[in-house]
Amino acid sequence: MLEIGFHTDAFNSAYWSFEQCLQWAQRNGLHHIECGAIDGVSWIHGLGYQPHIALWEDPLLLRKKMDGYGVRFSQLDAAFPLSKPEGATLGVEYILHSIRWAKLAGCPRIDTTDDRFPPAGMSEREAMEHMRRIYEQVLPVAEAYDIVINIEPHGHFTTKPEFMAEMLAFSDSPYLRLNMDTGNTFIAGQDPVAFLSRFENEVSHVHIKDVSPSLAAAARGDLTGIAVSHCAIGDGVNADNIRRCVEILVEGGFDGVLSIECEGQGGPMIERSLTWLRALLSR
């Protein structure tokens, strides 16, 4: 069954807290939420102006609070760019901390990715082997904790189907899967429909993201990802691709969450996106 959730990035610009996002989810009848993980202390988060969680927060108490809102995690975003040299140190520890926290918080999967640019001083082959070692290191822990590690198309390697295929084959573990992103694949110059069709059986979570005509005209093929799309879903040039991707997921019997990613404008833009996506699913 397809269900709808959202990424709290939508409320970065509104300086909301994570609990305000839970309140918005409850008001709008949503039961799945995705947010970023902060591995440390951030003053803006501590003051309540950032809609993500910090790994120093108690996951069991937060889970209890979320139960009160009728909301659960669909995914925890731990997307440090693993293709950077620091991926082997900072990135590995970030993922391992996120896995342990996610287990206690009742979150079934975490998201990972690479950097927009290939790492300086490494060939593409060296960078791929660098990332292979990282995933080989964290996957046994993910298996022990029953947490899926997703790879999201967002960077130089992950938005290219041939590299994504190789990365998904780093291990035959069922805990290494794909977080499909309709907007990132499009802005990187790929066909989201063809990308999804190739990896349909590997998908465990989906980001639904449209692209404005102006951004597409200025940056398609140059960018590899969109931090936050300033375009309501259905209003952009990627809307037809989103429709076709959802059809593929429905026809393939996908059981999971479509996580809305767009600028919220404090509510109005993401609410338009939610209305459009709900209408699409109802058809």
- What spatial distance separates the first Cα and last Cα of the chain, rounded to whole Å? 14
Collapsing DSSP to helix, strand or coil, 33 comes out as strand
Structure tokens at 148: 């899926």
Decide if 159 contacts 224 (C-beta within 8 A). Answer: yes
Rg of the chain on CA atoms, in Å: 18
Whole-number Å distance between alpha carbons of 269 and 14: 12
Nearest partner of 32 among 235, 229, 208, 246, judged by Cα? 208
DSSP states of 56-116 as a string?
TS-HHHHHHHHHHHT-EEEEEEEEEETTSGGGGTHHHHHHHHHHHHHHHHT--EEEEE--S
Residues 6+ apart with CB under 8 A from 23: 69
Collapsing DSSP to helix, strand or coil, 118 comes out as coil
Q: What is the pTM of this model?
A: 0.97
What pLDDT, on a 0 to 100 scale, did the predictor assign at position 230?
Answer: 95
| CATH placement of domain 2-282 | 3.20.20.150
What pLDDT, on a 0 to 100 scale, did the predictor assign at position 207?
Answer: 98
The pLDDT tens digits of the residues spanning 88-134 come to 999 999 999 999 999 999 999 999 999 999 999 999 999 999 999 99
Mean pLDDT of residues grouped by 10 in the chain (283 residues)? 97 98 98 98 97 98 98 98 98 98 98 97 98 98 98 98 98 98 98 98 98 97 95 98 98 98 96 98 94
What pLDDT, on a 0 to 100 scale, did the predictor assign at position 200?
Answer: 98
The pLDDT tens digits of the residues spanning 149-161 come to 999 999 999 999 9
Whole-number Å distance between alpha carbons of 252 and 247: 8
What pLDDT, on a 0 to 100 scale, did the predictor assign at position 184?
Answer: 98
